[in-house]
Amino acid sequence: MTGTPRSRSSYRSKGLFPLISLIAVLLAAPLLVVITSPLHRAAPEWPHVLGTLLPAHLLETLVLLAGVLLIALVIAVPSAWLIASFQFPLRSVFRWALVLPLALPTYISAYAYAGLLGPTGSISRWSVAHGGPRPDIVSLPGLCVVLALVLFPYIYLPTRAAFMRGMRTQLEAARLLGSGAVDRFLRIALPLARPAIAGGALLLCMETLNDFGAVKYYGVRTLTTGIFRSWGGLYDMGSALRLSMVLLALIAALLWIERRTRKGARQTTDQVPGVPVRLRGTKAWFATGWCSLILLLSLGLPLGRIISDVFATLDRPVWSDVFPAFGNTVYVAVLAAACTMGIALLFTYRERHGERSDVAIRVANLGYAIPGAVIAVAVMALAGAIDRQGWMSFALIGSIGLLTYAFTVRFLAVGTQPLYGNLRQQSISLDESARLLGASPWRTFVRVNLPLLRPALLVSALLVTIDVIKELPLTLVLRPFNFQTLSTTAYELASIEQLREASWPALLIVLCGAIPVLLLEKLLARPLR
Amino acid sequence: MTPLLLRIRDLHFAHGTSPVVRGVDLDLAAGEVVIVVGPSGCGKTTLLRLIAGLERPTRGNIELAGDPLSDGATFVAPEQRPLGMVFQGLALFPHLTVNQNIGFGLSKAPKGERDRRVAEELRSVGLEGLGDRHPHQLSGGQQQRVAIARSLVLRPKVLLMDEPFSDLDARTRRSVRTEVARILREHGTAAIIVSHDREDAYHLGDRIALMDEGRLVRVDTAEVLRHHWQQHPFDA
C-alpha cells in the first residue's frame, strides 16, 4: 500500500532536484568568475596592494566588524527580551518601531549623524557655542555606533521571534524553580536563542562588510573601499578581484563560525507563544526608557534631520526626479524579492528533503559576501559573453532581467538563512509522519514545513525587499539606461553636494522600507499576541 | 486526621469572555495524591496553571497551609510559591545536563550542598551515573524522572503534574507510574496529577476528581469511582 506513493515521490524528486542544482549553478556563476580571476585576469598593482593597502584595510575591517557586532548585540538582545517577555507602557509601539531602522540606508544615517555630530554638525556647533567639547562622530568608533544603530534589527528580529516562541514551558519551569527575570534571561532564554542570535549576527556582519557609502564618507579603510580604490584609483581590476577573494574568505570564516554555533545548540520544539509578564513601577519605566532611547538614536535623530532637510528644500523642484525613481524602485524591489524568495524556498526544500547537501547551493548562498559592485562586474562579464554570442534577440546588459538576476545572486543568503534556521527548529518527525501517511517530499514540504515556515518566510521577504530598495552600487552599474531608483537618485544628488535635496529620495527610501516592516508586524501580531 | 494543605474555593478563570474554569472547590491533604481526569479541553491544565500562579484567576481563593496564594488582594508570583510542576512536554532545559537541570532551582545554595542534594535526588529517582548526559541522550522514562527530580529537589509542598505519562509507550508508562508512586510516597509529597487515563487514576490517586466544562463534577476516592465506572462505563 505504501509502496506506490513512495516510488512516485522519489520519481518526482529525481526530476526536481537536478533543476534546483542547475539554478544554484547559474546563481553561483558570478562568484566563480571572482574566485577564478587569478587564472584569467592580470593584476599589475598587486605587490603594492598586498604590501601597503591590504594590512591597513584588513585591520580596520576587523575592528569595525567587532565594534558593530558588540554594540548591536547590546542593543538588540535586551530589547528583544523586553518586548517578548514583558508588558510595559508603549510596548506595542516599540515592537514594530524597533524594526524600522532597517528601512534606513546606512549611508543616509551616516550623512545625517555627520550633520548632527560631525565637526561642523549642528549639535557640535551648539556644544561649542555653550562652552562644551566638540564631538566628532566621523571616525571609526563613531561609524561602529552609527552602523550598529541601523543594523541591530537584523539581530533583534530573529532573537525576538525565538524569545516569543519555542521556550515558553522552559521559562515557566525555571520560574517555578524560583528563577527571577534576569536569571531566566541569562540561563535559559539566551542559550536557547543562541542559534537565532548567531543567524542575525551573521547577516549584520555581512551588511557591515558590504557597506560602501557610510565607510567611504567616514574615511574608514575597509576591504570594500580597498576594492573600489584598487579598481577606481589604481585602475587594476585584477587586484580588486583578489581583494574580493580576501573578503570572501573572511565571510566563509564567519559562515563557518555561525554553523558551528548552531551545531552545538539544542532546540526546543514548543510552538506556543509566551505570555508577557506585566512590569510595574520603576521596572516598567526603565523598559520604556530603554526602548525609547534606542528608538531615538536609531531612528528619531537621523529621521528628524532628514525631515528637517525636506522642509528646508520645499521650494526646490526635486519631485520631477523623485517620482519616476519611486515607481522604478517599487517595481524592481517586488520583482527581485519574488524571484529571490521563490528560489530560496526551492533551496530550502532541497536542503530538507535531499539525501545530501548540495555544494552548488552552498556556493550560491555566498553571493551576499561579495560587494555589489564586484557582483555587477562579474555579471556584466558573463552577460557580455552571452550577448556577444548573439543567441538572443535582445541584449542582457542593461535589462531589468539582468538586474533582477544580480539582486537574486546578491541577496539569496538573506532569503535562505531565516528559512534554514526556522526549518532546523521543526522536528524531523513531522516530515516522517507525513511521509508515512503517503505524502511525497514536495507535498510534505508544501503542506507541513511551509505553513510552519510562514513567520520566517515573511521575515526573509521583508529583509530582501528592504535590501533591494537600499542597494546602491549594484544598481548604479547594472540599471537600464536612464533608469533611476531612489538610491541612485540620492547618491547622485549627494555626490554633487546637494545633501539637502538628497533628503527627498532618502525619506522615500525610509517610507518604502517601512511599509513591509509594518505589514510584517501586522501579520505576525495575531499569533504572537 | 491528616492536616489540610491546599484549599481552593470558588476558583474561576476566563480567556477573554470564554470561561475555562468555573467555580472549582478542591481540598488537598498533606501527602495526598489527587488525580484530575476529564475530557480534552475541560480545563484540567488551566486548573494546574492557576494553582502554580502561571495564570491569574478571575475570581476565587487558593490557600497553601493557611497562607493565601491568590485571592482578591494577594497574588503570590510563581517563583515564590513552594510548589513544583512537571509539564506535559517535561520542559527540560535542552542545553543543560541532567545534573544542571536538577540543580537549576538550587543556584543560591552553596556548591557542595547543591552537588550533594542533586546526587541524592538522582539516586532517589534511580538515575545514578547519568548526571552528565543531556536530556536528548535519555529515554522517555528517564527524562520523566529528571523532570520529577528537578521539582522534588526543592522539597515543594505540592507537586503538580500535567499529563506526566502522555508521551510514553504503554509498557514504560506502567513502570514510570509505579516509580512515580514510589517517589511521591517516599518523599511524602502531596500531588495533583492531571491525566486523561483512568488507569493512572486507579493506580496513583488517593482521590479522583472528575472535571468537565471547567467544573469538578465529582470528587471521590479511587475505590468508589472505580466501582462507579465499572457499573457505568460510559459516564466519563
If you measure CA to CA, which chain B residue comes closest to A179?
A: B79
If you measure CA to CA, which chain B residue comes closest to A175?
A: B79
Q: What is the dihedral of CA B197, B200, B206, B207, to 10 degrees?
A: 0
> Of the candidates A256, A241, A259, which has an alpha carbon nearest to the alpha carbon of residue A371?
A241
Rounded to the nearest angstrom, the gap between the alpha carbon of residue B120 and the centroid of all alpha carbons in its chain is 21
Compute the nearest-CA separation of B59 from chain A (Å).
19
Q: Which of A42-46, A369-373, B6-10, B126-130 has the lowest mean pLDDT?
A: A369-373
User: Using CB atoms, which residue from B79, B91, B94 is nearest to A178?
Assistant: B79
The answer to whether the Cβ–Cβ distance between B93 and A188 falls below 8 Å is yes
User: Using CB atoms, which residue from A177, A188, A267 is nearest to B105?
Assistant: A177
User: Using CB atoms, which residue from A173, A179, A267 is nearest to B87?
Assistant: A173
pLDDT digits (tens, 9 = 90+) for A91-119: 989 988 898 887 788 888 888 888 888 88
The answer to whether the Cβ–Cβ distance between A177 and B134 falls below 8 Å is no
pLDDT, position A267? 55
Contact A160, A84 (CB under 8 A): yes
Compute the nearest-CA separation of A152 from chain B (Å).
26
CA atoms within 13 A on the CB side of A45: 20
If you measure CA to CA, which chain B residue comes closest to A173?
A: B91
In the chain, the amino acid numbered A127 is: S
If you measure CA to CA, which chain A residue comes closest to B105?
A: A177
Q: Could you tell me the residue range of the domain that residue A462 belongs to?
A: 10-40+316-529
pLDDT, position A88? 94
CB pairs < 8 Å spanning A and B: 66
In a domain, A392, yes or no: yes
C-alpha cell, A320: 520631477
In a domain, A258, yes or no: no
Q: CB atoms < 10 A from the CB of A253, how many?
A: 10
Contacts of residue B48 in chain A, CB cutoff 8 Å? none
Q: Where are the alpha helices (H) located in B21-153, listed in sequence order?
A: 44-52, 98-102, 111-124, 140-152
Q: Cα separations (Å) of A520 from A209, A356, A454, A514, A516?
A: 27, 33, 11, 10, 6
With a CB-CB cutoff of 8 Å, which residues 9-68 of chain B face chain A? 52, 54
Helix axes A281-295, A54-85, angle to 10 degrees: 140
User: Using CB atoms, which residue from B79, B136, B150 is nearest to A266?
Assistant: B136
Q: What 3 state SS string does A312-346 have?
A: HCCCCCCHHHHHHHHHHHHHHHHHHHHHHHHHHHH
Q: Which residues is A209 bridged to in the sheet?
A: none
pLDDT digits (tens, 9 = 90+) for A158-178: 899 888 876 888 888 888 888
In the block, which residue shows the cell 508586524? A521
pLDDT, position A332? 94
Q: Give yes or no for A181 touching B (CB within 8 A).
A: no
> Which DSSP string corresponds to A162-184?
HHHSB-HHHHHHHHHTT--HHHH
Residue scoring higher pLDDT (A367 or A145): A145
pLDDT (average), residues A7-35: 74
Contacts of residue B93 in chain A, CB cutoff 8 Å? 170, 173-174, 188, 192
pLDDT, position A146? 96
> Is beta strand B18-29 parallel, antiparallel or unpaired with respect to B4-15?
antiparallel
Residue B27, pLDDT > 90, answer: yes
With a CB-CB cutoff of 8 Å, which residues 144-163 of chain B face chain A? 150-151, 154
Annotated domain spans of chain B: 4-82+158-231, 98-155
Residues A294 and A202 placed together within one structural domain of the fold: yes
Compute the nearest-CA separation of A267 from chain B (Å).
7
Residues A396 and A451 placed together within one structural domain of the fold: yes
Q: CB atoms < 10 A from the CB of B137, how many?
A: 12
The answer to whether the Cβ–Cβ distance between A179 and B89 falls below 8 Å is no
Element at B63 (helix H, strand E): strand B59-64
Residues A110 and A124 placed together within one structural domain of the fold: yes
Residues A279 and A348 placed together within one structural domain of the fold: no
Residues A288 and A333 placed together within one structural domain of the fold: no
C-alpha A467/C-alpha A459 separation (Å) is 12
The answer to whether the Cβ–Cβ distance between B104 and A179 falls below 8 Å is yes
Contacts of residue B87 in chain A, CB cutoff 8 Å? 169, 172-173
Residue A13's pLDDT band (cuts 50, 70, 90) = low
Residue A497's pLDDT band (cuts 50, 70, 90) = low
Residue A74, pLDDT > 70, answer: yes
Q: Cα separations (Å) of A103 from A325, A456, A517?
A: 17, 18, 8
User: Using CB atoms, which residue from A169, A175, A270 is nearest to B79?
Assistant: A175
The answer to whether the Cβ–Cβ distance between B154 and A178 falls below 8 Å is yes
C-alpha A214/C-alpha A108 separation (Å) is 8
Element at A259 (helix H, strand E): helix A237-264
Contacts of residue B151 in chain A, CB cutoff 8 Å? 176-177
In a domain, A469, yes or no: yes
pLDDT, position A270? 54
pLDDT, position A5? 37
Contacts of residue A270 in chain B, CB cutoff 8 Å? 89
Global pTM value: 0.73
Residue A2's pLDDT band (cuts 50, 70, 90) = very low
Residues A155 and A134 placed together within one structural domain of the fold: yes
C-alpha A337/C-alpha A123 separation (Å) is 39
C-alpha A265/C-alpha A196 separation (Å) is 10
Residue A4's pLDDT band (cuts 50, 70, 90) = very low
pLDDT (average), residues B145-154: 89
pLDDT (average), residues A120-138: 87
The answer to whether the Cβ–Cβ distance between A177 and B89 falls below 8 Å is no
Residue A86, pLDDT > 60, answer: yes
pLDDT digits (tens, 9 = 90+) for B33-81: 999 988 888 899 999 999 998 888 999 999 999 999 998 888 888 888 8
- CB burial string A443-476: b at 16+ within 10 A, e below: bbbeebbbeebebbbbbbbbbbbbbbbbbbbbbb
Contact A57, A223 (CB under 8 A): yes
Residues A207 and A342 placed together within one structural domain of the fold: no
Residues A286 and A391 placed together within one structural domain of the fold: no
- Cβ-Cβ contacts under 8 Å for A211 (sequence gap 6 or more): A106, A107, A147, A222, A224
Contact B52, A176 (CB under 8 A): yes
Q: Give yes or no for A175 touching B (CB within 8 A).
A: yes
pLDDT, position A3? 37
Single residue among A312, A337, A366 that ends a domain in this structure: A312
C-alpha A87/C-alpha A90 separation (Å) is 9
pLDDT, position A528? 40
If you measure CA to CA, which chain B residue comes closest to A176?
A: B79
In the block, which residue shows the cell 543567441? A391
Contacts of residue B135 in chain A, CB cutoff 8 Å? 266
pLDDT, position A429? 67
pLDDT, position A192? 87
C-alpha A463/C-alpha A72 separation (Å) is 17
Residues A76 and A32 placed together within one structural domain of the fold: no
| Mean of all residue pLDDT scores within chain A | 83
- Cβ-Cβ contacts under 8 Å for A112 (sequence gap 6 or more): A301, A302, A303, A305, A306
Residue scoring higher pLDDT (A328 or A446): A328
pLDDT digits (tens, 9 = 90+) for A31-67: 888 888 788 777 888 888 888 889 999 999 999 999 9
- Cβ-Cβ contacts under 8 Å for A356 (sequence gap 6 or more): none
Residue A9, pLDDT > 60, answer: no
Single residue among A312, A339, A374 that ends a domain in this structure: A312
Residues A374 and A273 placed together within one structural domain of the fold: no
Residues A297 and A328 placed together within one structural domain of the fold: no
Q: Give yes or no for A179 touching B (CB within 8 A).
A: yes
Count of domains observed in chain A: 2
pLDDT digits (tens, 9 = 90+) for A242-279: 888 888 888 888 888 888 877 656 555 455 566 788 88
Single residue among A248, A281, A312 that ends a domain in this structure: A312
C-alpha cell, A502: 538628497
pLDDT, position A14? 58
Residue B182's pLDDT band (cuts 50, 70, 90) = confident
pLDDT, position A251? 84
Residue A440's pLDDT band (cuts 50, 70, 90) = confident
Q: Give the largest CA-CA distance in chain A.
A: 86
Most A-contacting residue of B92, B93, B102, B108 (CB-CB within 10 A), to test interface: B93
In a domain, A242, yes or no: no
pLDDT, position B233? 53
Q: What 3 state SS string does A87-123 have?
A: ECCCHHHHHHHCCHHHHCCHHHHHHHHHHHHCCCCHH
In a domain, A170, yes or no: yes
C-alpha B32/C-alpha B188 separation (Å) is 8
If you measure CA to CA, which chain B residue comes closest to A177?
A: B105
Contacts of residue B108 in chain A, CB cutoff 8 Å? 178
> Of the candidates B137, B154, B144, B152, which has an alpha carbon nearest to the alpha carbon of residue B90?
B144
Contact A60, A376 (CB under 8 A): no
Q: Give yes or no for B138 touching A (CB within 8 A).
A: no
Q: What angle do CA B30, B33, B35 make, to 5 degrees?
A: 145
pLDDT digits (tens, 9 = 90+) for A316-357: 777 777 888 999 998 999 999 999 999 999 988 888 877 666
- Percent of chain A at pLDDT exceeding 90: 23
Q: Which of A141-150, A496-505, B122-131, B214-223 has the lowest mean pLDDT?
A: A496-505
Q: Which of A93-102, A379-388, A468-477 has the lowest mean pLDDT?
A: A379-388
Residues A364 and A431 placed together within one structural domain of the fold: yes
C-alpha A466/C-alpha A337 separation (Å) is 9
With a CB-CB cutoff of 8 Å, which residues 90-129 of chain B face chain A? 91-95, 104-105, 107-108
In the block, which residue shows the cell 529515554? B139
C-alpha B118/C-alpha B124 separation (Å) is 10
User: Using CB atoms, which residue from A174, A178, A191 is nearest to B95?
Assistant: A191
* CATH assignment of B4-82+158-231, among 3.90.226.10, 1.20.810.10, 3.40.50.300, 3.40.47.10: 3.40.50.300
Phi and psi at B36, nearest 5°, equal: -100, 115
Q: Cα separations (Å) of A323 from A122, A236, A505, A516?
A: 30, 37, 9, 20
Determine what percent of chain A falls in helix, strand and coil, rounding each to the nearest 5.
Answer: 80, 0, 20
Contacts of residue A176 in chain B, CB cutoff 8 Å? 52, 54, 78-79, 81, 83-85, 151
With a CB-CB cutoff of 8 Å, which residues 351-410 of chain A face chain B? none
Task: Tell me if residue B12 falls in helix, strand or coil.
Answer: strand
Contacts of residue A429 in chain B, CB cutoff 8 Å? none
Q: Cα separations (Å) of A19 from A95, A344, A400, B153?
A: 40, 14, 23, 57
In a domain, A250, yes or no: no
Q: Give the largest CA-CA distance in chain B.
A: 56
pLDDT, position A520? 65
Q: Give yes or no for B82 touching A (CB within 8 A).
A: no
The CATH code of the domain that includes A79 is: 1.10.3720.10
In a domain, A230, yes or no: no
pLDDT, position A517? 67
> Of the candidates A30, A31, A15, A33, which has an alpha carbon nearest to the alpha carbon of residue A346?
A15
> Is beta strand B158-162 parallel, antiparallel or unpaired with respect to B83-86?
parallel
Q: Which of A192-206, A367-381, B65-79 has the lowest mean pLDDT?
A: A367-381
